[in-house]
Chains A and B, each alone.
Chain A
Amino acid sequence: MRRSGQVRCKSILGIALAAAMSPATAQDAGEAAALKKPDSSVSIGASAASGHERDRTIFGQYNGLREDSGNLLLDMDYVRRDDGTGMWTVVRARNLGLDSRDLGISVQKQGNWRFSADYSELVHHEIRTINTGLLGAGSATPSVVRLGAPGTGTDVNLSLKRTGLGLSGDKWVSGNMQIEVSFKNEDKDGARLWARGYDCASYVCTGTQNAANTRWALLLLPEPVNFNSKQVDAKFNFIGEKLFVSAGYYGSFFTNANGSLNPTVPNQLNNAIGGGPATLNPAAAGGTSLQDVLQLPMGLYPDNQAHQLYVTGNYAFLPKLRSTFKLAYTHATQDQDFASMGLGGAPAGRTSLGGVLNTTLAQFGLTSRPLPKLSLLADLRYEKKDDKTPIAAYNIENTTIWNNSHISNRRLGSKLEAGYQLPGATRVTVGLDYNQITRELPGLDVDVAGLSGLRGRTEEITYRGEVRRSISESFTGALGVAHASRTGSDWYNLCTSAACATQGLVYGGLYSWDQIYQRTATFPLNLADRKRDKLRLSADWLPMERLSLQFAAEVAKDDYNPPSANGLRSGGMTLLSVDAAYAVSERWKFTAYGSVGDQTMNDADRANYVADMKNTNTALGFGVNGKLSGVLEVGAGATYVKDVTKYGLSPDPATSANNVLQNAVGLPDVTFSETRLGIFAKYAIDRKSDLRVDLRHIISKLDEWSWGFNGVPFAYSDNTTVSLNPNQRETLLSARYLYKF
């Protein structure tokens, strides 16, 4: 922003001279050219980390700084433009010395054509370490070896590496027609935490359970990951005076090199209290032993593919009346041959699922400004997912047989909104949203386990409003409220108990909630009636030219009305945040923020517990940047995050005496906190080169109990354990040389 009508005497001097005393000198031309020349830079340096990699598993899970104490830091931005032709050449490289590297090359004749290629690597290191006797961890054929005692095995660190290559380009074939094509190939390799467990049903295996014999076992078996995905998007764009339309094809293809996991499991593992070894129970008549069950193949993700044709765009009926639209049809299939996955025992006549999922999408929106102060919006969206997968008898439990199920549904979404500019720089917006989902219910021959009812249709209406007012040039505030109510159709009864039969309830029949009601029933959270209220208050304030403040407060509450004492009963969140930015001078700038909030969930498991869960979060941040001199810039930053989850267990009135006591013992809080401190100094060696030194200290603490508590590890049946350093501290020193050209 210009400060006054006076020309200030600065770098423009040379240019002013050129204007006043033309012809311009070569030096002036050079300065003018420099203003147009895009900046390029290369940065090279090294970083050194303190301690062991287990001291930085949380901080280092993605950034490539976990495994090695010393790392090469190499980044580059090469940006060149030929001013005569408008040809750009851009090469961007990030983290070339780390396993989170990116490299992109782009060549473009602006306004005509563009081509780019991007290569990317990303490794996600599991933050926990496994101690196991497992052989071939991460392969499709691991072999379980029981350790004599927990902690006596080999440490295994799992990771997943993504390697991506993207190619894209576009070409303007005329002033109003463009072709865009993009392709992305990604490989994902590695392994992730997975498990297998089974508690033998009596019709599968038999035998008593005691110190020397067991009928159940849990095993940690990493999932082998060797995925490939490909995506291609090709579209033709037409740009008319009133119409923009884009028509194209989007294809996505997934393949998995592993079809199944086939573990080898010994016949002796831990008993139920971690002792042993105990022999796995033998087969019942017509069944198979627990050892055999644990060695059955586990299905891994099958290959799948989807093809979409679409037309999308917008049309301006009038300058103040515009529309958007999209029509799309997707044909998705999953027909990988079961035998090729190493999976046998399919129903007669089925060599693959033959999965077919056809999705049709239509959307149309209108926006209008009939009056300068009035804006209107209407939007309608319809999506039909039609599952055409053949039905077959895949499921057998004991002597009962059921078929596979479909996932067909239809979604209707609509939105109406009006905004009006009132006097006094006040804008009011009101809106109404309606969303409906209609699901295909399972047939009577399809088993749905562990649920009490399903709903064929849910619908939600949301009423919302917002008032935004600029009280002055320097203060703007907004208040938004929303109320949503979700209801639905009658329930599809899944209850087959004698009590239900006595009430005349038939499996698969449709009943109102009070007919289907049982205190021990659970109704899914995405189907139950729900009322949701939200309130949001925000303000932007510039009390002085150099100071800006931002406030936000948000409250939301969900009340579920499942026709049961079970399941999710309520939820909520609050958030309060303040941000500030203060420029003391042109040289020194400060920023700070703070936020506190919580999320709550009240979840009940009838006859057992009520969990009044509360997650409280605090986040603070502070930063300062300053110039100590014309050549020395310094800065410091600090962030602090603390997250505490309380489980708030209390007994259900109908629970047993022991469970009352167990609820009183409860679960310890789960606490995560992270403090990051950093300082830097950047010294300008000359106009083209800088030296930057960074010092960072990170303290990450994760106190939770999933894999052990208070020194007692959770041990799998082969004595495999999983651990994490709960108090991680890391100091990172890095130095970089930056050359600009």
Chain B
Amino acid sequence: MTRPAAFAAVLLGLLCALPPRALAQAPRQDLVLKGDAQCTRCHDENDDTPVLAIGKTKHGTLADGRTPTCTSCHGESDTHANKPAEARERPKPDRTFSKTSATPIEARNEACMSCHRRDAARSHWQGSVHQSRELACTSCHQIHTQHDKVRDKLTQTEVCFSCHKEQRTQVSRPSHHPVLEGKVVCSDCHNPHGSVGPSLMKRDSVNDTCYTCHMEKRGPFVHNHEPVSEDCMNCHNPHGTVVENLLKARAPFLCHQCHTPHGPNVPQLLGRQVVPNTVGTTGKNPINITMARGCLNCHTEVHGSNNPSVTNPTPQFRLR
């Protein structure tokens, strides 16, 4: 080892051995946030929970006078910064945000909401199911990183599915919105920060939310189909199904939950008929209500028809 290298090694060893207070004797510069010098004398990118990447985020934009300091969120934390002599372990900051934190959820969230209450998207956080179930903002959001998983279309579901297990399974079914593909995300339909709609729907109702992408089904039509107008989820499961078009069940089983059928038809398949079709078999036969699109083979306009014709056969049964 050369002499300069040996000198550097000794210096390095000394620095490593120094207690934090010794280093703090010298005036320090803030690294990423206003007033962070007191914290960054100990905390850095190599902590188990790296902290300095917050400087790369909106929170680290010093030119915006609203952005926080470390203590804005974590509290002044005097005893953490200056460990009392009698303390065996260094006390934790006033507010911590880890999963096992002892800080009450309300206090944790207040650290965020004291600023983000000003966002229109969070106007109904108070009283929302996530708020009343005491979900912490940091249950979903990562603050000290430029890449907050829940705000990235490709990774958002990883966060949501950590609680919503049933939906995790449903989006893998063959009939699904392109959620796993990263083109539609939970937050396209739901506002996790609270809304006026049911199930945290982004708009005021299930249907109003669906209409943002499927506006053609809004109508009203000459021939309405009332359950369609009332709630899309009467027939569809938007998270995914095995039946095409996200239907909860295939026709005729779905349709038979409300409607009487065309005579004594038991759902059956070609090649498995006890009484096979003949050339005289009516069109309202059990094959035609079971196979292909089932009931929708004829009742095409299931969402409603705007055909005004009074010519027989009229479109009142959503035939055209």
Contact = CB atoms under 8 A, between A and B. Distances in A.
B204 interface: yes
B77 interface: no
Contacts of B118: 237, 239, 244
B275 A658 contact: yes
A411 B166 CA distance: 28
B16 A8 contact: yes
Contact of B279 (A275, A322, A573, A707): A275
A273 B278 contact: yes
B3 interface: no
A716 B261 contact: no
A690 interface: no
Contact of B172 (A20, A639, A704): A639
Given A2-B47, A110-B58, A525-B258, A84 B83 contact: no
Contacts of B16: 7-9
B144 to A, nearest CB: 11
A526 B231 contact: yes
A609 B266 contact: yes
Given A193-B293, A667-B267, A394 B221 contact: no
B285 to A, nearest CB: 8
B10 interface: no
B29 interface: yes
B29 A32 contact: yes
Given A550-B162, A615-B242, A672 B28 contact: no
Interface residues of B, number: 157
B142 interface: no
Interface string B1-39: 000000000001001101110010011110110000000
Contacts of B27: 19, 22
A19 B277 CA distance: 90
Contacts of B226: 405, 407, 439
B264 A656 contact: yes
A246 B173 contact: no
B227 to A, nearest CB: 6
B312 to A, nearest CB: 5
Interface in B261-320: 261, 264-288, 290-294, 296-298, 300-301, 303, 305-317, 319-320
Nearest to B57: A38
B313 A201 contact: yes
B307 A299 contact: yes
B2 to A, nearest CB: 19
B44 A10 contact: yes
B283 A215 contact: yes
Contacts of A268: none
A286 B286 CA distance: 30
A661 interface: yes
Given A343-B309, A394-B314, A407-B229, A198 B132 contact: no
A381 B205 CA distance: 11
Contacts of B172: 619, 639, 641, 674
Interface in B202-261: 204-205, 211-213, 215-224, 226-227, 229-231, 234, 242, 244, 249-250, 252-253, 256-261
Interface string A290-328: 000100111111101010000011100000001110101
Nearest to A568: B257
Contacts of B159: none
A130 B309 CA distance: 31
Given A2-B42, A363-B196, A451-B258, A394 B267 contact: no
A595 interface: yes
**Chain A, interface size: which category?**
35 or more
Nearest to A223: B300
Contacts of B49: 1
A516 interface: no
B76 interface: no
A200 B312 CA distance: 10
Contacts of B230: 407, 409, 437, 439, 526
Given A10-B44, A195-B296, A237-B120, A597 B169 contact: yes
B192 interface: no
Contact of B291 (A12, A396, A655, A706): A706
Given A11-B46, A19-B28, A350-B308, A655 B292 contact: no
Contacts of A338: 306, 308
A156 interface: no
A429 B178 contact: no
Interface string B159-187: 00010011011001110001001110000
Contacts of B141: none
B117 A244 contact: yes
Contacts of A50: none
A84 B64 CA distance: 10
A732 to B, nearest CB: 14
Contacts, number: 527
Given A603-B256, A661-B274, A296 B309 contact: yes
Interface in B117-153: 117-118, 120, 123-124, 126-127, 131-134, 146, 153
Chain B contact residues: over half helix, strand or loop, or mixed?
A: loop
Interface string B43-79: 1111111001101111011111111000000000000
Nearest to A665: B272
A209 interface: yes
Contacts of B229: 407
B174 A702 contact: yes
Contacts of B291: 705-708, 714
Interface string A678-722: 000000000000000000000010101111111110101000001
Interface stretch (A138-146, A227-235, A498-506, A624-632): A227-235
A670 B280 CA distance: 30
A131 interface: no
A4 B146 CA distance: 26
B165 to A, nearest CB: 4
The residue among B53, B98, B146, B266 with the most chain A CB atoms within 10 A of its own CB is B266
A707 B292 contact: yes
A35 interface: yes
A1 B258 contact: no
Given A272-B281, A473-B100, A296 B215 contact: no
B40 interface: yes
B288 A218 contact: yes
A297 B312 contact: no
B190 interface: no
A189 interface: no
A381 B146 CA distance: 38
Interface string B83-110: 1000000100000001110100010000
A334 interface: yes
Contact of B26 (A8, A20, A324, A709): A20
Interface string A363-375: 1011101000001
A409 B52 CA distance: 54
Contacts of A207: none
Nearest to A217: B283
Contact of B264 (A22, A521, A655): A655
Given A24-B29, A609-B267, A367 B126 contact: yes
B132 to A, nearest CB: 6
A618 B236 CA distance: 21
A365 B126 contact: yes
B63 A332 contact: no
A649 B266 contact: yes
B166 A575 contact: yes
Given A244-B123, A260-B307, A394-B222, 4 more contacts: A122-B183, A195-B296, A608-B265, A665-B273
7 cross-chain pairs, A with B, having the tightest CB-CB distances, nearest first: A216-B283, A199-B283, A86-B63, A299-B307, A9-B16, A197-B298, A346-B308
27 contacts: A1-B98, A12-B40, A94-B153, A124-B178, A237-B120, A252-B215, A296-B309, A298-B300, A301-B306, A314-B124, A324-B194, A345-B311, A357-B220, A394-B308, A417-B132, A449-B317, A451-B259, A575-B165, A579-B162, A608-B264, A608-B266, A649-B266, A651-B266, A655-B264, A662-B274, A662-B286, A665-B273
